[in-house]
Structure 1
C-alpha cells in the first residue's frame, strides 16, 4: 500500500478521477512535452554519473545484454501468438507496442526503488534506451512481409532505413543518450553542479507529469470500445507474463535485486509515445485506437498502480 501513499502516484490517480469527471483541467501540450524531455534528461544524467563511477563492468554488460534480448524476444513471440487470431498487420503493431518500453513507467519505478532504499545501477537508463528501438524495426519488417503475403497491390512498402533513422534520432531518445554521455564526461563536478536541477526538482516534476498522464488515461479509455476483446485480455495478461520472464532470466544469471526489478518493469511496459508515432506513418492500415487504447488505457495504469509494487514484491520473494 506504500505505493498509494507516494505523492506522484496520488497525482496520477487524481488525474484519472479528474478526467472521468470531465473536468476542464488540462496540461498544455508544450508543458507536457517539456516535462517529458526534462525527465529523460535528468534520468540520462543520473545514468551517466553512475557509469562515470562504475565504468563498463561485466555486470553492466550483462544487464544491457539482457535488455536487448528481451527487446527482441518479446515482440517476436507476441507477433506469432497474436497472428493466430488477428490479421498480421494488427499483430505486428501490437507486438511493437508491447516489445518496446514506457520511459515514464521506468522513471516511476526507479523513484519507487529510491524511496524504498533499493540500490540499482544508474546504467539501467542505458538499458531502457536500448530496448526502445528493436521492436519498432521488427514490426516494420513483419508488416512489410505481411503486405507482401497479402499481395493486394494497394499497400506501400515502408523503407527500413527511414524507420531506423527515425528510431535512432527520435528527440527523446537522443536527449537521453546525450545527457548520459554528458554525465559520463562531466563526472563528479557535473553531478554537483546539476543536482539542484536533475535531483531536487525531479519528484515534483514527475508528479506534475503523472497528473497529465492520468488525464490522458481517462480520455483514452473510450478507445477500448473499438478494439477486440482479445486484445484487452492481452493488455492485461502480457505485462505480468513478460515481467515473470524477465524475473526468471535474471534469477538464472544472478542479477542484483534493483536491476531485476527494473528489467521486469521494462519488460512489462508498453510504449505509448515513440512506437505509436512511428506506426502511424509506417503501418497506416492499423487504427491507432488499437495500440494506443491498449498501452495507455490498460497497461500503463496497470503497471503504475499495481505492477510496480507487485514486481518489487515478486523480485524480493524469488531473489
Structure 2
C-alpha cells in the first residue's frame, strides 16, 4: 500500500512540474483544434542543442568514470535494446492484422531511444535533486543502435525467407520484398549490418550525440557547457515537450487505419519495457553501485521509443513497412506513455534503492 501511495504522490507532484505540464498542455491544445505550430527548423535546432548538451555532459563524465562502472551499464543497455526487439517479435509480430515487416519496424523503434524522453527524465531527476551518473548519455547509442540493427536484420531476413519460399512454390521473388527490402541477396549480403550501422551513426540524432561525446571526452568544453548549454536546457526542453504533445495527438489519427494491436502495444510496451530496463538497472546497481537515478534513467531509455533517429533509419532500411503503423504507434502513444511513466520509475527506485 505504501508503494502505491508513493507512486501516486510522485505522479501528482511531477504533473505540476514543467516537463509533464508542457507535454499535457501540447496534447490538450491539439485536441481542442489549436492552429499553434512550431516551425520544423526550430524543432530540429532544439533537438540538436539538447543532444549536444547530453553528449557533452556524458563525455566530460566519461573522462573520470571507472571503466567497469561504465562498461557494465553499457553492455546491459545494448542487451535491453535487443531484448525489446525480440520481445516485440514474439508479441506484436504474431498478432492478427500485423505484418512481420511492420511489427519488426515498430519493435525496432520501441527498442531504440527517444532523446526527448531521456532529457525529460534527466530534468525530472534534477528538479527532485536526485543524483545520477553523468555518463548516462553515453549509454544512449548502445541501446539505440543495438535495437535498430536487430530489428532491421530480422525483418529483412524474414522477408528473404518469405520470398525464397514463394519462389520454391513457383511464385516470384518480389513477394514480401519490394524494392530494397525483399531479395535474399539484400537480406544476407555481407555488408548489410555494416550499412545499417553506418546509416544509424550518420543519422542526425546519433551524430549530434556522438559529436557531443567526443567534444566532452577529448576537448575541454566546460566553460561553454556551463554558460550556454546548461542554462538553456530546461527552457528548450519545455518547448520540445509542447511539440511532442501536439505531435503525439496528431499521430493518433494515423492509428485508425491500422490494426488495433498497435493501440494495445503502444499503451503496454513502454511500461513493460521500462520494467525490464528497471530490472536490468537493479542488476547494475548490485554489481557496480549504479545509482538509483541511473536505474531510473535506464528504465526511461528502455520505456522510450525513438522519435528522431529511428523513423528515418526505418524508412531507408525497410521501405515496405508502413510508417503510419510504426511512427503512429511510437510518437502517438509510446512517447507520451513513456514520459508519463517516469514518476512511476522514480517512486519504484525510491522504494527499492532510495533516491
Q: TM-score band (shorter)? A: over 0.9
The 8 Å contact of residues 264 and 311 in structure 1, kept in 2 or not, is answered as: yes
1:88 to 92, 97, 100: 100
What residue is the counterpart of 1:40 in the other structure? Answer: 51
Deviations 1:41-100, CA, capped at 9 Å, x for gaps: 111111122223x23432111111111111112112211222322332122112211111
C-alpha distance in 2 between matches for 1:26 and 1:35: 15
Question: 1:1-319, aligned counterparts within 5 Å?
Answer: 1-52=12-63, 54-85=64-95, 86-151=98-163, 152-154=172-174, 155=177, 156-158=179-181, 160=192, 161-187=194-220, 190-253=221-284, 254=286, 255-305=290-340, 307-319=341-353
Q: Any stretches of 5+ residues in structure 1 without a counterpart?
A: none
The 8 Å contact of residues 43 and 240 in structure 2, kept in 1 or not, is answered as: yes
Q: Any stretches of 5+ residues in structure 2 without a counterpart?
A: 1-11, 164-171, 187-191
Q: CA RMSD in A?
A: 1.6
The 8 Å contact of residues 85 and 107 in structure 2, kept in 1 or not, is answered as: yes
The 8 Å contact of residues 108 and 148 in structure 2, kept in 1 or not, is answered as: yes
Number of positions where the alignment pairs a residue of Structure 1 with one of Structure 2? 315
Deviations 1:173-225, CA, capped at 9 Å, x for gaps: 111111122112334xx313331211111111111111111111121111121
C-alpha distance in 1 between matches for 2:351 and 2:251: 35
The SS at the match of 1:201 is: helix
The 8 Å contact of residues 45 and 198 in structure 1, kept in 2 or not, is answered as: no
C-alpha distance in 1 between matches for 2:278 and 2:296: 8
The SS at the match of 1:34 is: helix
C-alpha distance in 1 between matches for 2:105 and 2:151: 6
The SS at the match of 1:148 is: helix
Q: Which has the larger radius of gyration?
A: 2
C-alpha distance in 2 between matches for 1:171 and 1:239: 24
